[in-house]
Chain A
């Protein structure tokens, strides 16, 4: 465990260094790249196409949709891999799961995982000094674990106590850590160096706390794998996004922009 934490520590340190000045870099990295390409393209265009000249004039449309993405080729590769994996494995599995299990069971599974996540939410709410949200999260965990039978039901929501999701990436963001380069993670999808590091911390914490007391179980590895797979299917079920249904050739860019915006919004909240 110590070794693992050290690794995450190192990654975090890198994230901190890269993250703090990432926004400044974003603004600069845009200009030289496009300038070059624009000149290249203008040379290639037939001169009578005045329209094109207007379109590619460097001063037109500074691209505020741009996100700092130095690892773009790798990210695009992973994005494509995720899309293929989604199509070939994830979605068919999800369809089978939905066909085989009654909706009420699916909801129970979702609630179960969501309840396990409350400890993490609580910790991150506390780390961000959000006392009201921490209180709500604590009550949710207590109520749902007892009245909700180990989290299979979510009675707390019926009392108006909604989940206050926070993760370690958001905690880092709260304390001013920049997002760092955009990163598309295999299977997980859009993220950033900061958020990926945060995910590692969250995961390490979950394993360390061992809420289900698996450490004493002889079959703990099998159970862990089973739970991880079920959790993955459950997460996919709750994610409406489908790759390449936007109908945009610029889906990668749009997803990148929207993901960054949503994370910012989440951190601000």
Chain B
């Protein structure tokens, strides 16, 4: 009986196309040439850097700055994580991108890559991530780089106090991706006067130059690629998810940050991807949607925490079981640029009277600290020729500013190639000091 079964099993195995089919893998560098698709799909596993499956990471908490409203009962205390080496090693502070937490997929990949290369790695959430926004943002209105940097710097100091006993640190570096990369630069600039860490190296992955302009580009992706704009998100997701019916098998649970959408899109058949009717791109629509979800989270949480009264009438108290769908709807209508214009700028103008909107937005740009960036040999930027969030002249500007301290890959869109072999190699080489 057993023999027969095994024989049948072998026949099945031989007949099964799935076993025999080996995907075509053109050798070389990052393969996805469509910048939106690259951003969504990330790095196909064949081109990924080899990373350990698990590393010893510990979660830590720091006390929050503000009383936490009942509605956010689950987000008391600021969380961060650290992967620490046994012996003496340099420590890297790693800052997440827009809306991402310290434990997001990209952050975990970076933490693994650096830990493997012999660094202590402290992962910090973005100030735009709910847990950070509630507990560690002094204004509760993240998005203004100089103030965000102050908040992050404070967290870095407290975080280091917390892990000091377990970490033998030789020197400190700071890095980040996307918005986190811009934060890293501002943090490093701040460290020049504060000198708590004497930060040695600053590594920036896919940074924006002018934050407002980058955010505007991302806002626009939704309007341009989702039929009906924000009102069409539900219908678009419905359609997109239905397209997956044929191929997507939700095996390992569900994540509802951008990663969730990424996983979904990744499983689409390449031949059915691409540009839809009226030149709309499904991938661009997903990026726009994902960004709008991040921005809605910020709008609602900022409004509730700062009592700005933008969507939530001041004084509204939410219970733990409050119905929120109305607020969800309203929050998703707000663009990130509108959040900046209607919530952040008024707050700043009250705080710094006499400064114009233009002045303030100018301060939230890498151009504002260009002297620091140009004059510091320990700053390195890595980005892509087909980066989404840069305006046409911004890549040239950075190349002019940084000379040979900027590395530009051909493909990868926005952070799509963050854990590719070449990217990880570049990061490790720079932080180790081999460049």
Considering residues B234, B244, B250, which has the most beta carbons from chain A within 10 angstroms of its beta carbon? B234
Task: Indicate whether B300 reaches chain A with its CB closer than 8 angstroms.
Answer: yes
Measured in the bound complex, the distance between the Cα atoms of B13 and A253 in whole Å is 43
How close is B420's CB to chain A, nearest CB, in angstroms? 23
Hey, which chain B residues are within 8 Å of A269, CB to CB? 245-246
- Which A residues, 231 to 269, have Cβ-Cβ distances below 8 Å to chain B? 238-241, 243-255, 257-259, 261-262, 264-266, 268-269
Task: Indicate whether B396 reaches chain A with its CB closer than 8 angstroms.
Answer: no
Task: Indicate whether A21 reaches chain B with its CB closer than 8 angstroms.
Answer: no
Neighbour of B313 across the interface among A44, A63, A147, A244, CB < 8 A:
A44
Residues 49-76 of chain B, each 1 if its beta carbon lies under 8 Å from chain A, else 0: 0000000000000000000000111110
Hey, which chain B residues are within 8 Å of A238, CB to CB? 252-253
Contact A244 B74, beta carbon cutoff 8 Å: yes
Measured in the bound complex, the distance between the Cα atoms of B338 and A64 in whole Å is 23
Contact B313 A41, beta carbon cutoff 8 Å: yes
Task: Indicate whether B195 reaches chain A with its CB closer than 8 angstroms.
Answer: no
Contact B311 A250, beta carbon cutoff 8 Å: no
> Which A residue sits closest to B79, measured CB to CB?
A245
Contact B260 A52, beta carbon cutoff 8 Å: no
Contact A249 B72, beta carbon cutoff 8 Å: yes
How close is B311's CB to chain A, nearest CB, in angstroms? 7
Task: Indicate whether B325 reaches chain A with its CB closer than 8 angstroms.
Answer: yes
> Which A residue sits closest to B247, measured CB to CB?
A269
Task: Indicate whether A17 reaches chain B with its CB closer than 8 angstroms.
Answer: no
Measured in the bound complex, the distance between the Cα atoms of B313 and A80 in whole Å is 25
Measured in the bound complex, the distance between the Cα atoms of B258 and A254 in whole Å is 12
Hey, which chain B residues are within 8 Å of A259, CB to CB? 254
Contact B18 A247, beta carbon cutoff 8 Å: no
> Which A residue sits closest to B2, measured CB to CB?
A146
Contact B321 A249, beta carbon cutoff 8 Å: no
How close is A29's CB to chain B, nearest CB, in angstroms? 11
Task: Indicate whether B88 reaches chain A with its CB closer than 8 angstroms.
Answer: no
Q: Tell me whether chain B's interface is mostly helix, strand or loop, or mixed.
A: helix
Task: Indicate whether B362 reaches chain A with its CB closer than 8 angstroms.
Answer: no
Hey, which chain A residues are within 8 Å of B129, CB to CB? 247
Hey, which chain A residues are within 8 Å of B99, CB to CB? 247
Contact A261 B325, beta carbon cutoff 8 Å: no
Contact A160 B13, beta carbon cutoff 8 Å: yes
- Which A residues, 35 to 65, have Cβ-Cβ distances below 8 Å to chain B? 37-38, 41, 44-46, 49, 51-52, 54-56, 60-65
Measured in the bound complex, the distance between the Cα atoms of B130 and A264 in whole Å is 30
Contact B9 A34, beta carbon cutoff 8 Å: no
Chain A interface category by residue count = 35 or more
How close is B18's CB to chain A, nearest CB, in angstroms? 4
Task: Indicate whether B217 reaches chain A with its CB closer than 8 angstroms.
Answer: no
Measured in the bound complex, the distance between the Cα atoms of B248 and A264 in whole Å is 12
Task: Indicate whether A211 reaches chain B with its CB closer than 8 angstroms.
Answer: no
How close is B20's CB to chain A, nearest CB, in angstroms? 9
Contact A51 B254, beta carbon cutoff 8 Å: no
How close is B226's CB to chain A, nearest CB, in angstroms? 12
Task: Indicate whether A208 reaches chain B with its CB closer than 8 angstroms.
Answer: no
Contact A265 B244, beta carbon cutoff 8 Å: yes
How close is A182's CB to chain B, nearest CB, in angstroms? 12
Hey, which chain B residues are within 8 Å of A139, CB to CB? 8, 12
Task: Indicate whether A76 reaches chain B with its CB closer than 8 angstroms.
Answer: yes
Contact A45 B313, beta carbon cutoff 8 Å: yes
Task: Indicate whether B131 reaches chain A with its CB closer than 8 angstroms.
Answer: yes
- Which B residues, 314 to 354, have Cβ-Cβ distances below 8 Å to chain A? 320-334, 338, 342
A-B contact pairs, 17 of them (CB 8 A): A34-B325, A45-B309, A49-B309, A64-B233, A73-B323, A76-B320, A139-B8, A156-B9, A160-B17, A238-B253, A240-B253, A244-B74, A245-B103, A247-B99, A247-B129, A247-B257, A250-B300
Q: Which residues of A come within 8 Å of B, CB atoms? A: 33-34, 37-38, 41, 44-46, 49, 51-52, 54-56, 60-66, 72-73, 76-77, 80, 83, 139, 142-143, 146-147, 155-156, 158-161, 238-241, 243-255, 257-259, 261-262, 264-266, 268-269
Q: Which residues of B come within 8 Å of A, CB atoms? A: 1-2, 5-6, 8-10, 12-13, 16-19, 71-75, 99-101, 103, 125, 129-131, 230-231, 233-235, 237-238, 241-242, 244-246, 248, 250, 252-257, 260, 293, 296-297, 300-301, 304, 309-311, 313, 320-334, 338, 342
Closest A-B pairs by Cβ, 4 of them: A64-B234, A160-B16, A240-B253, A76-B321
